[in-house]
Amino acid sequence: MKIAFVILSCDYPGKQFEILLDKLSLFENPVIYIHHDYSQNNFNNNLIKKYNLILAPKHYTTYWSHINNVKATWDAFKIISEKYNPDWIITITPTCYPIKPIKEIESFLKNSEYDGYMSYRKVTATPKWELDKWIYRDMYHKKIMLPIINRPIFIKRKTKSVPFNEDFPIWHSSNYFMLNNKAIKQLLEQEECYNKLVKFYETFNSKNQHPCPQEIVIQSIIMNNCKNINICNNYYRYIKWVEGVWSPIYLTEDNYEEVKNSDALFARKFRSPESDKLTKLIDNNLL
């Protein structure tokens, strides 16, 4: 079985990134595709040969929440699908790490009854989640800052300018997911829809393009237009969130028991040196 990994990076590869690559290289016939944002930092070219990495031929300037991140991911899917035809594609980051044995992850995917794993939910005008309230507002309203009072106002967008509607609702999900060959091929057949969503997000002026496009664009295409695939509503990632904080915390040895008892295949976020003891515990006891 062939598994491809898509990684978007912007920092110079450090210790944590390299030990992740050590683990990914243990998969059977791995395809490790890196989109690196050279506008932010250089890349360690020694790693390319060491791990047989595939670097994206076209590079975008990436931001935390920006359509360029989606473009980099879509390009990766196209290149990987056409040139390497993997059984599965997994999106991860340099701060991820496997928490199940490699053979167990491969067996999980090989014997899967699903075509993909992705945590998802529909965003409606009456949201159940606090986050969805902001997603819905910002999708249908344009944010304009008033410099005199230093506060934003929200002006409703013209209905025809928004590509989301009752027939094509907003679906939100983490941008970490796993899709098999069948799902990827169906997704890439939706290039016209993809281009329409990209064009819409390109009208946003801010570098921080909320609602976060990498958590909406591909996910909405899959859930609305890819009808003949079966997606499990679980992304099998262990991520630790703290209330009131918009980014997950870096994991340490204090999180080991939670990681060990999780049904997830991968966890994040790891960073050296804070996570060094945890990665050693995982290596010695879980992998």
Residue 224 or 243, more confident: 224
Res. 145: pLDDT tops 90 = no
Supply φ then ψ for residue 70, to 5 degrees: -70, -40
**Does the bond joining 273 to the residue before it have cis omega, within 30 degrees of 0?**
yes
Within a 10 A sphere around the Cβ of 275, how many other Cβ atoms?
24
Cα distance between residue 183 and residue 158, in whole Å: 33
Res. 148: pLDDT tops 80 = no
Give the neighbor-by-neighbor strand order of the sheet with 54-55: 54-55, 31-36, 3-9, 88-92, 178-180, 116-117, 231-232
Picking from 4-18, 59-73, 234-248, 270-284, which range would have the lowest pLDDT averaged per residue? 234-248
Across the chain, mean pLDDT equals 94
Res. 243: pLDDT tops 90 = no
Alpha-helical regions (H) of 84-171: 102-110, 130-140
- Condensed to tens digits (0 to 9), the pLDDT of residues 6-48 reads 999 999 999 999 999 999 999 999 999 999 999 999 999 999 9
Per-residue buried b or exposed e for 60-93, using 16+ beta carbons within 10 Å of the residue's own CB: bebbebbbbbbbbbbbbbebbbeeeebbbbbbbb
- Condensed to tens digits (0 to 9), the pLDDT of residues 156-202 reads 888 888 999 999 999 999 999 999 999 999 999 999 999 999 999 99
pTM: predicted TM-score of the whole model, two decimal places: 0.94
Given a contact cutoff of 8 angstroms between Cβ atoms, the answer to whether 177 and 236 are in contact is no
CA of 210: how far to CAs of 107, 141, 142, 198, in Å? Answer: 37, 11, 10, 13
- Condensed to tens digits (0 to 9), the pLDDT of residues 189-203 reads 999 999 999 999 998
What's the pLDDT score for residue 176?
96
CA of 159: how far to CAs of 61, 125, 187, in Å? Answer: 30, 14, 26
Three-class SS state of 1: coil
Given a contact cutoff of 8 angstroms between Cβ atoms, the answer to whether 193 and 169 are in contact is no
